[in-house]
Structure 1
Amino acid sequence: MADPAGGRPSVCPSLLYADAKAAIEQLTGALGFAELVVYEGEDGLVHHAELTQGGGVVMLGSKGSGGRFDDAMRGAGPAGVYVVVDDVDGHYQRAVEHGVEILMPPTDQDYGSRDYMARDLEGNVWSFGVYAPRLEG
């Protein structure tokens, strides 16, 4: 559900695809998503993309593009989900206190976010951070 005051979703599913370009084509062409941003590396892989649908956003990228999230998703459940939280460190501490498997402690990212990664009991990867994609310009 989007934050009506700020135009930012509070939950963003994050998926990796063997062919992210084909996935973007299908999601936008066949399933009604709109392309918000796509960042490709020199290797031609989609390192990060954001697609919008209504008030929500799905983030996706190419399998094998490297990075902590790509590594964490190997052997993970069927999806990864990014959730916006105001207090990353407090949220992280609560997860640790409940015995959640932590994949990456709170980390300041180059793009301005602070986030951490955890794995749930079924192997799904959950990221919690302060970054929220802008739906409005």
Structure 2
Amino acid sequence: MAETANGVVTVFPTILYDDAKSAIRTLTEAFGFVAEAVYEGDDGSVLHAELSCGNGRVMLGSKGRGGVFAKAMEGAGPAGVYVVVSAVDAHHARAVEHGVEILMPPTDQDHGSRDYMARDAEGNVWSFGTYTPGVTA
């Protein structure tokens, strides 16, 4: 995640899901995110949710609620999100335990990172690894 000089995170991936409640369960139970805020509409749809991991956050909500962002996202493809984690193998094991589709098992990369890649139930690709963009070794 990009940070300003004072450490404030300035980039927040935002994803709309057909079943946002299921996505929140996967992100929290399988990937270890923490649900910081979840706002639901009268119909039970997720109007807005914020889930944290380390010092980063992802925002998500239910598709089909209308509004400018929902309109802009119509027909958008799946998203890809990269998350820095220190214990890649343990993180991967947790995801496997929760039945997440693994696209690439933990793998040592040429640039020194150890990563794995998974796909959530709605096709978004989540990569978890030790590489921290913007930080030199």
Structure 1 contact 73–80 (Cα < 8 Å) conserved: no
CA RMSD of aligned residues (A): 2.1
Q: For residue 5 of structure 1, what is the amino acid of its counterpart?
A: N
Classify the secondary structure of the residue corresponding to 1:24: helix
Query: What residue in structure 1 maps to residue 6 of structure 2?
Result: 5
Question: What percent of counterpart residues are identical?
Answer: 60
Tell me the distance in 1 between the aligned counterparts of 2:28 and 2:18: 17
Tell me the distance in 2 between the aligned counterparts of 1:41 and 1:4: 37
Structure 1 contact 50–57 (Cα < 8 Å) conserved: yes
Which deviations, in whole Å up to 9, do the C-alpha atoms of 1:68-99 show, x marking residues without a partner?
11111111232399xxxxxxxxxxxxxxxxxx
Query: What residue in structure 2 maps to residue 39 of structure 1?
Result: 39
Tell me the distance in 1 between the aligned counterparts of 2:4 and 2:37: 20
Q: 1:5 offset after TM fit, Å? A: 2.9
Query: What residue in structure 2 maps to residue 65 of structure 1?
Result: 65
Q: For residue 54 of structure 1, what is the amino acid of its counterpart?
A: G
Classify the secondary structure of the residue corresponding to 2:31: coil
Q: For residue 28 of structure 1, what is the amino acid of its counterpart?
A: T
Tell me the distance in 1 between the aligned counterparts of 2:41 and 2:10: 27
Structure 1 contact 14–80 (Cα < 8 Å) conserved: no
More strand by share: 1
Runs of 4+ in 1 over 4 A off after TM superposition: none
Q: 1:4 offset after TM fit, Å? A: 6.6
Query: What residue in structure 2 maps to residue 27 of structure 1?
Result: 27
Rate the CA distance shift 1:12–1:78 in 2: closer, same or farther, 3 A: same
Give the TM-score taking structure 1 as reference length: 0.53
Which deviations, in whole Å up to 9, do the C-alpha atoms of 1:74-125 show, x marking residues without a partner?
11232399xxxxxxxxxxxxxxxxxxxxxxxxxxxxxxxxxxxxxxxxxxxx
Rate the CA distance shift 1:52–1:73 in 2: closer, same or farther, 3 A: same
Counterparts of 1:71-86 in structure 2, within 5 Å, are 71-79=71-79
Give the TM-score taking structure 2 as reference length: 0.53
Which deviations, in whole Å up to 9, do the C-alpha atoms of 1:55-74 show, x marking residues without a partner?
11000000111111111111
Rate the CA distance shift 1:70–1:62 in 2: closer, same or farther, 3 A: same
Structure 1 contact 13–80 (Cα < 8 Å) conserved: no
Q: For residue 22 of structure 2, what is the amino acid of its counterpart?
A: A
Q: For residue 14 of structure 1, what is the amino acid of its counterpart?
A: T
* Structure 1 residues not aligned, in runs of 5+: 82-137
Q: For residue 53 of structure 1, what is the amino acid of its counterpart?
A: C
